[in-house]
Amino acid sequence: MPAKLRLLLRTAALGLICALGAGCVEPGASRGDAQPQMAGDAERSLRNGDYDRAGQAFLDLADTNRDLRDHYRLRAAESYREEGNLNAAAGALEGVQMRHLAREEQARLDLLQAEIAISHHDNARAVTLLTIPDADLPRPLRLRALELRARAQTAAGDALAGARTRALLDLMLEGKDRAQNESLIVNTLSQLDANTLRQQLASMLPNDALRPFVEKALSSGGLAAPAANPNRQVGTLGEPNAPNGEGLRQARVIALLLPVNGQVRGVAQAIRDGFFAALFADAHMPRPEIRVYDSGNNDVDAVAAYQRAVSEGADHVVGPLRREAVSAVFAQASLSAPVLALNQPEHGEAAPAGSAAFGLVPDAEGAQVAQRMSERGITRAVIIVATTDWAERAATAFRTQFESQHGTIVGIARLRDNDVNFSKNIQQAIGAMPATADTGVFISMLPQQARLLVPQLRLVNQAERVFATSHVFSGVLNAGMDHDLDGVEFCDAPWLFDAVLGLPHHGDIAATLDTARGAGARLFAFGLDAYALVPYLAWLGQHHDSYLPGATGQLTIDINGRVQRSLAWARFQDGVAQPVAGGLQMSAVPVH
């Protein structure tokens, strides 16, 4: 347990214990305590942090006052506990009888004995002692009880129970203490294997307090929450009173929450252009009214923008863009209008009912590359990635997914930005491993690095089975330079290859809008999909077997309110990125 959280729980418990102890001095005198001055001095020593002196003073009192012996020995043990001397605390508790203690003291005795048992690795006894009802305990003791219970359960091998207990504790903490506890929840869940986490997630209700932490544990291990296997396209079946097909519920007024200024201004512009391009291409009449609101660059401004939009009549809200802003909007007591957030929430929490979180995350790409390689019969893989956060996330996701399918990672290398000779990196990752049909290379890097790496992989006969995330493709035709990437297969947004019917033609849009060109085209496609998702938000949130064929991939919404994407596949041939046969299975977008 982090020192700060331990200090919080110790300080809170000490404050209550001192108060209870001080309250016992006067009643003690009325019960025949002949040494009220000594008791008062002992309590002051405890409050002043002179724990050893306080402990000895309480023991002396216990020896001279038979009626309050157990009370004073408990106070002595609590003093030694504050000093961190649990062995001395255990000695002080020898002979203490539960029946001689007041109700609050009995709870404190159980907590202290449980803490001593944990220190002696007797976790089973600790778990038994900590089965005491804690709902009626004063807040400081309840904090301590939950924290000790979580420690004991985890140490006893029940990581899931320990994490669930910490989730209860989390509701009572604030600020940095809460953040530290949440980190412990994820670390505890990370002790479980990915399959166990997936099974737990599948069995959890949407409002389960532990759900976001299970998701985060999967994500930190490189796996997104498992999505249902979609098999039914939205809008393809008739439904009474739904002339455009089942699932469609057209919005009347959509508020688009994006930052006008700041570091992500360019990102917001591309998304906004895609959103409006989808609006202008929408054949369904009447089209919704779109109102753009500045979500600012912090969570307070984003919440204010949401509330203003709703007060002005918005029935659907798209945005905000920043992760902390998404968390803040989701955390409101109630959402008058459903939200399609344009990023995942900062702490991995599930979206409120009727809302969803949509993001272009590298984790999903890494996991899908691993799936693709496994389907190709590749059981051994080398990982070579750039030294960036998104590349590391993609690599972690790839590794976790690949190993979960019984694949083996045989080597890892990271490429620095300014290097051009990667022979040492390749040697580090591949060594003398022969190129066989069951081996492959996973890369996640920008085109500039990939164009240098792949020819060097060819020199050691390791370029036949190279798979990449979308970052390897610049998004524009550059056959002369991309010729070095021939044979590399990668996942990407199908709109870049005009693989989805019913959407504006990529080439036509790119010819007129800068934001639809190059790497920005993916953000533009993201905007297209944000608009397309709004009328199907409720349906997809309730029918996890349904999907929307979108510009960024085949879109579903999982049980946690996260939009999941199944990407398209392409391969470089003669310097041109071309769709792989069977890799672009996108149907027509429903006509609104």
Burial of 135 by CB count in 10 Å (0-12 exposed, 13-18 middle, 19+ buried)? exposed
The amino acid at 216: K
Element (DSSP H or E) covering residue 175: helix 175-189
The predicted pLDDT at position 31 comes to 38
Structure tokens at 266: 């360019």
Residue ranges of the chain with per-residue pLDDT less than 50: 7, 11-34, 222-228, 238-243, 585-592
357 in helix, strand or coil? Answer: strand
Res 23: pLDDT: 39
Q: Give the chain's length.
A: 592
pLDDT at residue 225, as a whole number: 45
pLDDT at res. 261: 92
Q: In 3D, which of 43, 44, 45 has the Cα closest to residue 28? A: 43
Q: pTM of whole model > 0.75?
A: no
From residue 131, alpha-carbon distances to 33, 60, 112, 205, 561 in Å are 34, 32, 13, 25, 35
pLDDT given for residue 258 in this prediction: 97
- Token pair, residue 256, equals 């688009």
Predicted pLDDT of residue 544: 82
Query: pLDDT tens digit string along 20-31?
Result: 444 343 333 333
Query: For the segment 191-237, what is each residue's pLDDT rounded down to a tens digit?
Result: 888 878 888 887 777 667 888 888 878 766 544 444 445 778 887 65
Contacts for 587 with CB less than 8 Å, ≥ 6 apart: 233, 500, 501, 549
- Neighbouring residues of 39: CB distance < 8 A, sequence distance ≥ 6: 25, 28, 33, 61, 72
Q: Which of 89, 70, 60 is nearest to 24 (CA)?
A: 70
Q: How far apart are CA 533 and CA 307, in angstroms?
A: 22
Residue 1's pLDDT is: 53
Ramachandran bin of 519, using left for φ above 0, alpha for ψ from -120 to 50, beta for the remaining angles: alpha
